[in-house]
């Protein structure tokens, strides 16, 4: 969420204004201290100029990366 906001060139304050939220709430979301509803996720994406489906795909890919690494076969040492 932070990357999306920064790539859009928005400060937390500016994004909060666009979403009619407090800056501290945006900060809590970005730090992972609170979850957001799907409708807020969609609004966040739109405020950043990103298609929600594209953003969700990127988030899911990032979340599954540690799982993929742990499932990769280990190459035996020579």
Answer whether residue 29 is part of any domain. Answer: yes
If you search the block for the tokens 């950043």, which residue do you land on? 48
How many domains does the chain divide into? Answer: 1
Whether residue 64 is contained in a domain is answered as: no
In a domain, 73, yes or no: no
Closest among 41, 47, 38 to 11, alpha carbons compared: 47
Span 29-69, pLDDT tens digits:
999 999 999 999 999 999 999 999 999 999 899 887 665 45
Residue 63: predicted pLDDT: 80
Q: Residue 7: pLDDT above 50? A: yes
Domain residues for the domain of 7 are 2-58
Q: What is the pTM of this model?
A: 0.78
- Looking up residue 19, the CATH number of its domain turns out to be 1.10.260.40
Instruction: Examine residue 13 and state whether it is found in any structural domain, yes or no.
Output: yes
Range list of H helices, 1-78: 2-7, 12-19, 23-30, 38-47, 52-71
Q: Mutual orientation of helices 12-19 and 38-47 as an angle, nearest 10°? A: 120
CB atoms within 10 A of CB 49: 11
């Amino acid at each position: 969420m932070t990357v999306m906001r920064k790539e859009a060139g928005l400060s937390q304050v500016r994004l909060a204004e666009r979403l009619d939220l407090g800056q501290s709430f945006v900060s809590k979301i970005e730090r992972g201290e609170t979850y957001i509803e799907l409708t807020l996720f969609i609004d966040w994406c739109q405020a950043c100029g990103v298609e929600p489906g594209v953003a969700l795909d990127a988030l899911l890919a990032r979340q599954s990366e540690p799982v993929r690494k742990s499932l990769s076969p280990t190459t035996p040492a020579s």
